[in-house]
Amino acid sequence: MRCAVVGHVEWVEFARVPHMPQSGEIVHAESVSEEPAGGGAVVARQLGLLAGGCTFFTALGDDALGHAALARLRELELDVEAERPGGAATRRAWTHVDGGGERTITVLGEKLLPAGPLPLAGYDLVFFVSGDEAALRSAREARFLAATLRELPTLRRAGVRLDLLVGSVTDPGEQHDPSLDSRTVVLTDGARGGTANGVPYDAVTAPAVVDTYGAGDSFAAALAFGLARGDGVDDALALAARAGAAVIGGAGPYSAQLRH
């Protein structure tokens, strides 16, 4: 299956701490790591593992972090098509991961969005995570188009029909707008499962929780992959739940992603 993702990258520094610091408190990190991540990168890597390859259309600053991000994404076996908006800095993020594996994120800088039109005709699956309206309209040239609710204003303005729309009922920035035209709408609710076109589904029991960063994006990527290859909704949800649960068992977004 020929897959592509349109989305953003953040250079993320991860600090594992025993607990989130209270006001005025100092906590000492047990470990620190850094990766290019963010929704676009995580979805692209998960699709690449499932489909045997993925093209990632993104935007990076022409700075040290942008060049480091590009090198690392290629190490993750992604075919990266990166725009370089003049004078823009690569967005950064700081993530605390507490003793229970929950992540809390602070972002620094503006999100760099890939701009269309993009050469997306002929793809079997395009997953739109973020970008401008022209990029989203280009993505509609694919046989199957998935999107997240993170860029709701762009989805409204572009007005394209979606094959899959994924959001989280626990994220205030991903609230569903019923006016959007999508064949399948999946709203996740963490360990409680979620709904698919209004029908509840159960979550998969996860292994010991190490790190929840990237679980939702890996779930969404696997769900899109399953539906695009012709799985029924229940089978696609089962694959997606496995992908989300797998990520929780490893540190960072990539170490435990589901392999096909």
Residue range 54-78: mean pLDDT, rounded: 97
Residue 139 CA to residue 84 CA, distance in Å, equals 20
User: Helix crossing, 215-228 with 39-51: angle to 10°?
Assistant: 40
Number of H helices, E strands in the chain: 6, 13
For the CA atoms of 201, 154, 170, 229, the dihedral, rounded to the nearest 10 degrees, stands at 30
Note the pLDDT tens digit of each residue in 248-259. Answer: 888 899 999 999
pLDDT band at 180 (very low <50, low <70, confident <90, very high): very high
Residue 171 CA to residue 189 CA, distance in Å, equals 9
Residue 125 CA to residue 127 CA, distance in Å, equals 7
Q: What percentage of residues in the chain have a pLDDT greater than 70?
A: 99
Q: What is the pLDDT of residue 190?
A: 79
Note the pLDDT tens digit of each residue in 194-246. Answer: 999 999 998 877 667 888 889 999 999 999 999 999 999 999 999 999 999 99
Residue 26 CA to residue 32 CA, distance in Å, equals 16
Domains observed in the chain: 3-20+30-248 (3.40.1190.20)
- Tokens at residue 119, please? 């050469």
pTM here? 0.94
